[in-house]
Amino acid sequence: MSIFTGAGVALITPMHEDGSVNYEEMERIVNDQILNGTDAIIVCGTTGEASTMTHEEHIETIKACVDMTKKRVPVIAGTGSNCTATAAYLSKEAQNAGADGVLVVSPYYNKATQAGLKKHFTEIAKAIDIPVILYNIPGRTGVNIQPKTIADMVAEVENIIGVKEASGDLSQVAELLSLTQGEIDVYSGNDDQIVPIVALGGKGVISVLSHVAPKDTHDMVIKLIEGDVEGSRNLQLKYIPLITALFSEVNPIPVKAAMELMGFQAGPLRMPLTRMEEAHKQVLRQAMIDAGVKVIG
Protein backbone atom coordinates (compact mmCIF):
# COMPACT_ATOMS: atom_id res chain seq x y z
CA MET A 1 0.00 0.00 0.00
CA SER A 2 3.07 2.24 -0.28
CA ILE A 3 2.35 5.54 -1.98
CA PHE A 4 5.86 6.33 -3.20
CA THR A 5 9.56 5.62 -2.82
CA GLY A 6 12.07 8.42 -3.22
CA ALA A 7 11.64 12.17 -2.76
CA GLY A 8 8.27 13.87 -2.45
CA VAL A 9 8.26 17.66 -2.53
CA ALA A 10 6.46 19.44 0.32
CA LEU A 11 5.01 21.95 -2.11
CA ILE A 12 4.89 25.68 -1.45
CA THR A 13 1.65 27.49 -2.23
CA PRO A 14 2.56 30.40 -4.51
CA MET A 15 0.54 33.53 -3.80
CA HIS A 16 -0.43 36.67 -5.67
CA GLU A 17 0.51 39.94 -3.98
CA ASP A 18 -3.04 40.18 -2.61
CA GLY A 19 -2.53 36.87 -0.80
CA SER A 20 -4.72 34.73 -3.06
CA VAL A 21 -3.41 31.41 -4.40
CA ASN A 22 -1.53 31.71 -7.69
CA TYR A 23 -2.73 28.54 -9.41
CA GLU A 24 -1.00 29.32 -12.70
CA GLU A 25 2.41 29.47 -10.99
CA MET A 26 1.57 26.45 -8.89
CA GLU A 27 1.06 24.43 -12.08
CA ARG A 28 4.39 25.69 -13.43
CA ILE A 29 6.13 24.51 -10.24
CA VAL A 30 4.35 21.13 -10.26
CA ASN A 31 5.37 20.53 -13.89
CA ASP A 32 8.97 21.53 -13.15
CA GLN A 33 9.11 19.16 -10.21
CA ILE A 34 7.77 16.20 -12.17
CA LEU A 35 10.06 16.94 -15.12
CA ASN A 36 13.06 16.86 -12.75
CA GLY A 37 12.31 13.56 -11.07
CA THR A 38 10.23 14.31 -7.99
CA ASP A 39 8.39 11.15 -6.96
CA ALA A 40 5.31 12.66 -5.27
CA ILE A 41 3.65 16.00 -4.62
CA ILE A 42 2.64 16.81 -1.04
CA VAL A 43 0.15 19.66 -1.16
CA CYS A 44 -1.26 21.80 1.66
CA GLY A 45 1.28 20.79 4.27
CA THR A 46 3.32 23.04 6.54
CA THR A 47 5.36 24.32 3.58
CA GLY A 48 2.13 25.01 1.73
CA GLU A 49 0.86 27.36 4.47
CA ALA A 50 -2.28 25.29 4.97
CA SER A 51 -2.69 26.58 8.52
CA THR A 52 -3.67 30.01 7.16
CA MET A 53 -6.05 28.72 4.49
CA THR A 54 -9.81 28.61 4.82
CA HIS A 55 -11.33 25.15 4.46
CA GLU A 56 -12.62 26.14 1.05
CA GLU A 57 -9.18 27.27 -0.13
CA HIS A 58 -7.58 24.15 1.32
CA ILE A 59 -9.93 21.84 -0.58
CA GLU A 60 -9.72 23.87 -3.78
CA THR A 61 -5.90 23.82 -3.69
CA ILE A 62 -5.89 20.03 -3.27
CA LYS A 63 -8.29 19.66 -6.20
CA ALA A 64 -6.18 21.96 -8.34
CA CYS A 65 -2.99 20.03 -7.57
CA VAL A 66 -4.64 16.71 -8.45
CA ASP A 67 -5.79 18.19 -11.77
CA MET A 68 -2.36 19.67 -12.52
CA THR A 69 -0.50 16.47 -11.72
CA LYS A 70 -2.67 14.36 -14.04
CA LYS A 71 -1.71 11.09 -12.32
CA ARG A 72 1.93 11.44 -13.35
CA VAL A 73 3.01 11.11 -9.72
CA PRO A 74 0.99 10.55 -6.53
CA VAL A 75 -0.58 13.51 -4.75
CA ILE A 76 -0.61 13.41 -0.96
CA ALA A 77 -2.79 16.02 0.71
CA GLY A 78 -2.06 17.57 4.08
CA THR A 79 -5.31 17.28 6.01
CA GLY A 80 -4.25 17.50 9.65
CA SER A 81 -5.89 19.60 12.33
CA ASN A 82 -5.94 19.80 16.10
CA CYS A 83 -9.67 19.03 15.78
CA THR A 84 -10.33 15.38 14.92
CA ALA A 85 -13.63 16.12 13.18
CA THR A 86 -12.02 18.79 11.01
CA ALA A 87 -9.15 16.49 10.03
CA ALA A 88 -11.62 13.74 9.13
CA TYR A 89 -13.66 16.20 7.05
CA LEU A 90 -10.61 17.49 5.17
CA SER A 91 -9.39 13.93 4.60
CA LYS A 92 -12.73 12.91 3.08
CA GLU A 93 -12.67 15.96 0.84
CA ALA A 94 -9.12 15.12 -0.25
CA GLN A 95 -10.21 11.61 -1.16
CA ASN A 96 -13.17 13.02 -3.11
CA ALA A 97 -10.76 15.35 -4.93
CA GLY A 98 -8.68 12.41 -6.11
CA ALA A 99 -5.71 12.53 -3.73
CA ASP A 100 -3.72 9.31 -3.51
CA GLY A 101 -3.18 9.64 0.23
CA VAL A 102 -3.25 12.07 3.13
CA LEU A 103 -0.60 13.41 5.49
CA VAL A 104 -2.02 14.00 8.96
CA VAL A 105 -0.05 15.92 11.57
CA SER A 106 -0.45 15.19 15.26
CA PRO A 107 -2.82 17.57 17.09
CA TYR A 108 -1.09 20.81 17.99
CA TYR A 109 -1.69 23.23 20.88
CA ASN A 110 -4.28 21.08 22.68
CA LYS A 111 -1.90 18.09 22.20
CA ALA A 112 -3.10 14.62 23.33
CA THR A 113 -1.99 11.62 25.33
CA GLN A 114 -0.68 8.60 23.44
CA ALA A 115 -4.12 7.03 23.86
CA GLY A 116 -5.70 10.21 22.50
CA LEU A 117 -3.35 10.22 19.53
CA LYS A 118 -4.36 6.65 18.69
CA LYS A 119 -8.05 7.55 18.80
CA HIS A 120 -7.48 10.73 16.78
CA PHE A 121 -5.58 9.07 13.94
CA THR A 122 -7.75 5.95 13.92
CA GLU A 123 -10.95 7.96 13.56
CA ILE A 124 -9.49 9.94 10.67
CA ALA A 125 -8.20 6.81 8.92
CA LYS A 126 -11.54 5.03 9.26
CA ALA A 127 -13.33 7.98 7.62
CA ILE A 128 -11.49 7.35 4.32
CA ASP A 129 -10.30 4.53 2.09
CA ILE A 130 -6.98 5.98 0.91
CA PRO A 131 -3.63 5.59 2.72
CA VAL A 132 -2.72 7.73 5.72
CA ILE A 133 0.79 8.94 6.52
CA LEU A 134 1.20 10.25 10.05
CA TYR A 135 3.29 13.37 10.56
CA ASN A 136 5.41 13.49 13.69
CA ILE A 137 6.91 16.92 14.26
CA PRO A 138 7.01 17.60 18.01
CA GLY A 139 8.92 20.86 17.51
CA ARG A 140 5.78 22.38 15.98
CA THR A 141 3.03 20.43 17.72
CA GLY A 142 4.40 20.02 21.24
CA VAL A 143 3.67 16.28 21.27
CA ASN A 144 5.72 13.27 20.17
CA ILE A 145 4.06 10.21 18.64
CA GLN A 146 5.98 7.44 20.36
CA PRO A 147 7.26 4.47 18.31
CA LYS A 148 5.01 1.93 20.04
CA THR A 149 1.97 4.14 19.43
CA ILE A 150 2.77 4.25 15.71
CA ALA A 151 3.54 0.53 15.58
CA ASP A 152 0.22 -0.29 17.25
CA MET A 153 -1.72 1.83 14.77
CA VAL A 154 0.05 0.33 11.76
CA ALA A 155 -0.83 -3.15 13.05
CA GLU A 156 -4.45 -2.30 13.88
CA VAL A 157 -5.57 0.13 11.14
CA GLU A 158 -5.17 -1.11 7.57
CA ASN A 159 -4.76 2.23 5.83
CA ILE A 160 -2.32 3.81 8.30
CA ILE A 161 0.76 2.89 6.34
CA GLY A 162 3.51 5.38 7.09
CA VAL A 163 4.98 8.27 8.99
CA LYS A 164 6.83 11.44 8.11
CA GLU A 165 9.40 11.51 10.89
CA ALA A 166 10.60 15.00 11.78
CA SER A 167 11.45 14.51 15.43
CA GLY A 168 15.15 14.61 14.59
CA ASP A 169 15.66 11.59 16.85
CA LEU A 170 17.36 8.84 14.85
CA SER A 171 17.21 6.46 17.81
CA GLN A 172 13.45 6.84 17.80
CA VAL A 173 13.33 6.10 14.07
CA ALA A 174 15.44 2.98 14.59
CA GLU A 175 13.15 1.82 17.40
CA LEU A 176 10.10 2.33 15.21
CA LEU A 177 11.56 0.36 12.32
CA SER A 178 12.59 -2.39 14.72
CA LEU A 179 9.10 -2.61 16.21
CA THR A 180 7.36 -2.67 12.83
CA GLN A 181 9.77 -5.03 11.03
CA GLY A 182 9.34 -3.35 7.67
CA GLU A 183 5.56 -3.01 7.91
CA ILE A 184 5.66 0.79 7.75
CA ASP A 185 6.81 3.40 5.26
CA VAL A 186 9.05 5.90 7.03
CA TYR A 187 9.89 9.18 5.30
CA SER A 188 12.42 11.63 6.64
CA GLY A 189 10.85 14.96 7.48
CA ASN A 190 14.28 16.57 7.76
CA ASP A 191 16.41 17.08 4.66
CA ASP A 192 19.63 16.73 6.65
CA GLN A 193 18.64 13.19 7.74
CA ILE A 194 17.67 11.61 4.44
CA VAL A 195 20.60 9.21 4.21
CA PRO A 196 20.54 7.95 7.82
CA ILE A 197 16.78 7.33 7.74
CA VAL A 198 16.86 5.56 4.37
CA ALA A 199 19.85 3.54 5.60
CA LEU A 200 17.71 2.35 8.52
CA GLY A 201 15.01 1.19 6.10
CA GLY A 202 13.07 4.35 5.29
CA LYS A 203 11.31 4.85 1.96
CA GLY A 204 12.58 8.35 1.29
CA VAL A 205 11.89 11.95 2.21
CA ILE A 206 9.11 14.52 2.19
CA SER A 207 11.33 17.39 1.29
CA VAL A 208 11.75 21.14 1.20
CA LEU A 209 15.14 20.80 -0.53
CA SER A 210 13.36 19.19 -3.50
CA HIS A 211 12.11 22.63 -4.55
CA VAL A 212 15.62 23.72 -5.48
CA ALA A 213 17.30 20.37 -6.17
CA PRO A 214 14.60 17.88 -7.20
CA LYS A 215 16.79 15.50 -9.18
CA ASP A 216 19.57 15.32 -6.60
CA THR A 217 17.10 14.83 -3.75
CA HIS A 218 15.51 11.95 -5.67
CA ASP A 219 18.94 10.54 -6.49
CA MET A 220 20.06 10.77 -2.87
CA VAL A 221 17.35 8.27 -1.93
CA ILE A 222 17.49 6.00 -4.96
CA LYS A 223 21.28 5.72 -5.02
CA LEU A 224 21.27 4.48 -1.43
CA ILE A 225 18.44 2.01 -2.04
CA GLU A 226 20.34 0.67 -5.05
CA GLY A 227 23.56 0.30 -3.07
CA ASP A 228 25.53 3.38 -4.12
CA VAL A 229 26.30 4.43 -0.57
CA GLU A 230 29.12 6.80 -1.50
CA GLY A 231 27.08 8.56 -4.18
CA SER A 232 24.16 9.04 -1.83
CA ARG A 233 26.36 10.20 1.05
CA ASN A 234 28.16 12.68 -1.18
CA LEU A 235 24.87 14.27 -2.19
CA GLN A 236 23.71 14.50 1.41
CA LEU A 237 26.90 16.21 2.49
CA LYS A 238 26.99 18.48 -0.56
CA TYR A 239 23.62 19.97 0.34
CA ILE A 240 24.09 20.43 4.11
CA PRO A 241 25.00 24.17 3.81
CA LEU A 242 22.00 24.80 1.56
CA ILE A 243 19.68 22.82 3.84
CA THR A 244 20.91 24.91 6.77
CA ALA A 245 20.16 28.10 4.82
CA LEU A 246 16.70 26.79 3.87
CA PHE A 247 15.89 26.54 7.56
CA SER A 248 17.64 29.69 8.77
CA GLU A 249 14.18 31.17 9.28
CA VAL A 250 10.96 29.31 9.88
CA ASN A 251 9.77 27.18 6.95
CA PRO A 252 8.49 28.14 4.36
CA ILE A 253 10.02 31.63 4.51
CA PRO A 254 13.44 30.66 3.08
CA VAL A 255 12.18 28.23 0.43
CA LYS A 256 9.82 30.84 -0.96
CA ALA A 257 12.79 33.21 -1.17
CA ALA A 258 14.80 30.47 -2.89
CA MET A 259 12.07 29.92 -5.46
CA GLU A 260 12.00 33.63 -6.19
CA LEU A 261 15.78 33.56 -6.68
CA MET A 262 15.27 30.74 -9.20
CA GLY A 263 12.75 32.78 -11.17
CA PHE A 264 9.49 31.37 -9.83
CA GLN A 265 6.75 33.68 -8.60
CA ALA A 266 6.42 32.29 -5.09
CA GLY A 267 4.88 35.52 -3.88
CA PRO A 268 4.32 36.69 -0.33
CA LEU A 269 3.62 34.65 2.77
CA ARG A 270 0.45 34.86 4.78
CA MET A 271 0.71 36.53 8.14
CA PRO A 272 2.08 35.95 10.69
CA LEU A 273 4.92 34.84 8.39
CA THR A 274 6.86 37.58 6.64
CA ARG A 275 9.43 37.76 3.84
CA MET A 276 13.00 36.65 4.54
CA GLU A 277 15.43 39.09 6.12
CA GLU A 278 17.90 40.40 3.55
CA ALA A 279 21.01 39.22 5.40
CA HIS A 280 19.67 35.66 5.57
CA LYS A 281 18.59 35.85 1.94
CA GLN A 282 22.12 36.67 0.83
CA VAL A 283 23.47 33.66 2.73
CA LEU A 284 20.79 31.51 1.09
CA ARG A 285 21.65 32.89 -2.34
CA GLN A 286 25.33 32.05 -1.90
CA ALA A 287 24.52 28.55 -0.60
CA MET A 288 22.39 27.96 -3.70
CA ILE A 289 25.20 29.11 -5.98
CA ASP A 290 27.75 26.96 -4.13
CA ALA A 291 25.48 23.92 -4.54
CA GLY A 292 25.18 24.53 -8.28
CA VAL A 293 21.59 25.77 -8.25
CA LYS A 294 20.88 28.24 -11.04
CA VAL A 295 20.09 31.63 -9.50
CA ILE A 296 18.38 34.25 -11.63
CA GLY A 297 17.38 36.88 -9.08
Active site residue 92: no
Measuring CA to CA, how many Å separate 245 from each of 229, 268, 285, 291?
Answer: 25, 19, 9, 12
| Size of the chain, expressed as the number of residues it contains | 297
pLDDT of residue 1: 63
| Given the residues 70, 111, 126, 135, the one annotated as active site | 135
Taking residues 85-96, report their average pLDDT.
Answer: 98
- pLDDT of residue 45 exceeding 80: yes
pLDDT of residue 182: 83
Active site residue 109: no
Confidence of residue 2 (pLDDT cuts 50, 70, 90): confident
Cα–Cα dist 61/22, whole Å: 10
Confirm if 44 and 62 have CB atoms less than 8 A apart.
Answer: yes
Chain segment 164-217, per-residue pLDDT in tens:
999 999 999 999 999 999 899 999 999 999 999 999 999 999 999 999 999 999
Chain segment 245-285, per-residue pLDDT in tens:
999 999 999 999 999 999 999 999 999 999 999 999 999 99
| Given the residues 63, 118, 164, 281, the one annotated as active site | 164
